[in-house]
Amino acid sequence: MSSGLIRRDNGHGKTHYFASSDESKICVVMVGLPARGKSLIAGKAMRYLAWVGIPARVFNVGTYRRQGTPQPSATFFDPHNEEGEKMRRAAADAAITDMIQWFDAGKGVVAILDATNSTKERRRWINERCQEANIETLYVESICDEEDLIMNNILEVKTTSPDYKGQDPEVAARDFRERIRNYEKVYETIDDGEKSYTYVKLINVGSTVIINQIKDYLSSRLVYYIQNLHIKPRSIWLSRHGESEYNLTGKIGGDSNISERGEAYAKALPGLLKKSGVPPNTKIVIWTSTLKRTIQTARHLAAETGFEKLEWKALDELDSGVCDGLTYEQIAEKYPEDFAARDEDKYNYRYRGGESYRDVVIRLEPIIMELERSENVIIVTHQAVLRCIYAYFLNTPQEQSPWMEVPLHTLIKLTPRAYGTEEQRFKADIPAVSTWRAKGTSAKHQEYSTETKA
């Protein structure tokens, strides 16, 4: 397979990204005992690939198995349970068959097969099926013997897994531990006998990473992302800067100060963070852009908590080029064709001398890598940047992310889980203008009331 991604412009201002070979097909095969973070890693990898424009999909074998056995007990997973083994094999076969059809229909570039895949025989069978379909395999094994982390993952599964929906949590936890013991009876780690496979082994949350036979650009890019992941419980808080002087007049870009109400939000932010639920003795790092309005918004939080604060140039607002400092009304008057083009395809439209949302995603990729390496972080940034980061965690489609409403004076708490990202919003009781404009609406700057838009 030839390496790299190529970029093509369709002649109408829209840029598309493709795998460098039309034949590129990669199946990422998760490997590991239950409660080792496989589904979390699979979900993150899928979101990352979609975020950077590479079509991907997770094929979770448990989802197929639940069609016939929605809430099995641990005995279903006993290696001596021949009927259970037969049904589990059928679920894996159905998932792989669907995956191959998905590839054949040209719907994607990377598929992620999320299951334990815990024996050499199972991995050999998967490899044969993929080879027959001209699909390359990348095995990702998550190994963990840290008891605290395993117990956290058991807690996560018993409260979020469809297998235990509606069940008593303690009963669910006991059953899940027994399920793990059943898998441990037959589990075989990837070893020297499988050196012909392309694989990465993550040991104890990435403290040790073993990489073997990575041959192409896309796999290496994915492995680099995966080796930066950890599966420890944590949260990420997102906030726009407090209302700025430019916000009051409808101007975009610039490096203005925050308004009086923006200052009130800055003072309220420490209490809002506490209200959101911060576990005792939790260390949080504060990230801001290099622009005044984010630094001013975070200064009381840093002073009151003593948390470390870092400024990132990559978190600066989308560069609006020649339109910097203008209102949308002025842009529509001065550059009517550009205003219409941006409404048509906001994600790919690039301001003259400035950036597009796609450009912002590209410059945010190192931020995402650092964020995945980190534990608890609060990011105080700008509307476009926050939309892009939010879209990464919530798997928001590219065409929708630039139109999301992200109100001022609101703290968003995101907590990654095995089966998705949990979101909570905490609104400060401090009025602010609304800077949101719906697609196709008038560019005229409204006379904002002192009430926050709902």
Average pLDDT, the chain: 90
pTM of the model: 0.86
Which entry of 136, 141, 156, 317 is annotated as an active-site residue? 317
The label of the residue with tokens 């441990």 reads: 184
- Does residue 440 sit within a domain? no
- Does residue 258 sit within a domain? yes
Q: Are residues 177 and 82 in the same domain?
A: yes
Phi, psi of 236 (to 5 degrees): -125, 130
pLDDT confidence of 444, banded at 50, 70, 90? Answer: low
Q: Is 243 annotated as a binding residue?
A: yes
Could you tell me the CATH number of the domain that includes residue 423?
3.40.50.1240
Could you tell me the CATH number of the domain that includes residue 161?
3.40.50.300
* pLDDT value for 4: 42
Residue 393 predicted with pLDDT over 80: yes
Query: When comparing pLDDT for 442 and 44, which is higher?
Result: 44
Residue 452 predicted with pLDDT over 60: no
Q: Which residues are CB-neighbours of 324 under 8 A, at least 6 positions away?
A: 252, 253, 254, 354
Indicate if 16 belongs to the active site: no
Asked if residues 301 and 307 have their Cβ atoms less than 8 Å apart, the reply is yes
Q: Are residues 176 and 257 in the same domain?
A: no
- Does residue 73 sit within a domain? yes
Residue 447 predicted with pLDDT over 70: no
Q: Are residues 109 and 222 in the same domain?
A: yes
Q: Is 242 annotated as a binding residue?
A: yes
* pLDDT value for 149: 83
Asked if residues 55 and 108 have their Cβ atoms less than 8 Å apart, the reply is yes
235, two tokens: 């949260």
Q: Are residues 149 and 248 in the same domain?
A: no
pLDDT confidence of 443, banded at 50, 70, 90? Answer: low
Q: Are residues 273 and 352 in the same domain?
A: yes
Q: Is 445 annotated as a binding residue?
A: no
* CA pair distance 252, 334, nearest whole angstrom: 15
* pLDDT value for 23: 62
Q: Is 293 annotated as a binding residue?
A: yes
Asked if residues 218 and 110 have their Cβ atoms less than 8 Å apart, the reply is yes
pLDDT confidence of 412, banded at 50, 70, 90? Answer: very high
Residue 290 predicted with pLDDT over 80: yes
Q: Is 4 annotated as a binding residue?
A: no
Q: Are residues 161 and 294 in the same domain?
A: no
pLDDT confidence of 7, banded at 50, 70, 90? Answer: very low
Q: Is 417 annotated as a binding residue?
A: no
Q: Which of 12-16, 390-394, 404-408 has the least mean pLDDT?
A: 12-16
Percent of the chain with pLDDT over 70: 92
The label of the residue with tokens 């650092």 reads: 370
Domain boundary among 228, 256, 291: 228
Indicate if 317 belongs to the active site: yes
Mean pLDDT confidence for 174-191: 96
Residue 5 predicted with pLDDT over 50: no
pLDDT confidence of 43, banded at 50, 70, 90? Answer: very high
* CA pair distance 425, 394, nearest whole angstrom: 14
The total domain count for the chain is: 2
Mean pLDDT confidence for 135-141: 97
- Does residue 363 sit within a domain? yes
- Does residue 120 sit within a domain? yes
Q: Which residues are CB-neighbours of 68 under 8 A, at least 6 positions away?
A: 87, 90, 91
Q: Are residues 286 and 307 in the same domain?
A: yes
* pLDDT value for 181: 96
Q: What is the pLDDT of residues 61-98, one digit of tens each?
A: 999 999 999 999 999 999 999 999 999 999 999 999 99
Mean pLDDT confidence for 215-237: 90
Q: Which of 2-11, 343-352, 376-385, 440-449 has the least mean pLDDT?
A: 2-11
Q: Is 260 annotated as a binding residue?
A: no
User: Which domain covers residue 294, as residue numbers?
Assistant: 236-427
Please state the three-class secondary structure of the chain as a single string: CCCCEEEEECCCCCEEEEECCCCCCEEEEEECCCCCCHHHHHHHHHHHHHHCCCCEEEEEHHHHHHCCCCCCCHHHHCCCCHHHHHHHHHHHHHHHHHHHHHHHCCCCCEEEEECCCCCHHHHHHHHHHHHHCCCEEEEEEEECCCHHHHHHHHHHHHHHCHHHCCCCHHHHHHHHHHHHHHHHCCCCCCCHHHCCCCEEEEECCCCEEEEECCCCHHHHHHHHHHCCCCCCCCCEEEEECCCEHHHHHCECCCCCCECHHHHHHHHHHHHHHHHHHCCCCCCCEEEECCCHHHHHHHHHHHHHHCCCEEECHHHCCCCCHHHCCCEHHHHHHHCHHHHHHHHHCCCCCCCCCCCCHHHHHHHHHHHHHHHHHCCCEEEEECHHHHHHHHHHHHCCCCCCHHHCCCCCCEEEEEEEECCEEEEEEEECCCCCCCCCCCCCCCCCCCCCCCCCCC
Residue 1 predicted with pLDDT over 80: no
Mean pLDDT confidence for 281-296: 97
* CA pair distance 441, 99, nearest whole angstrom: 41
* pLDDT value for 449: 44
Q: Is 328 annotated as a binding residue?
A: no
Residue 451 predicted with pLDDT over 70: no
Q: Are residues 302 and 344 in the same domain?
A: yes
Q: Is 245 annotated as a binding residue?
A: yes
Q: Are residues 406 and 384 in the same domain?
A: yes
Which entry of 241, 355, 372, 382 is annotated as an active-site residue? 241
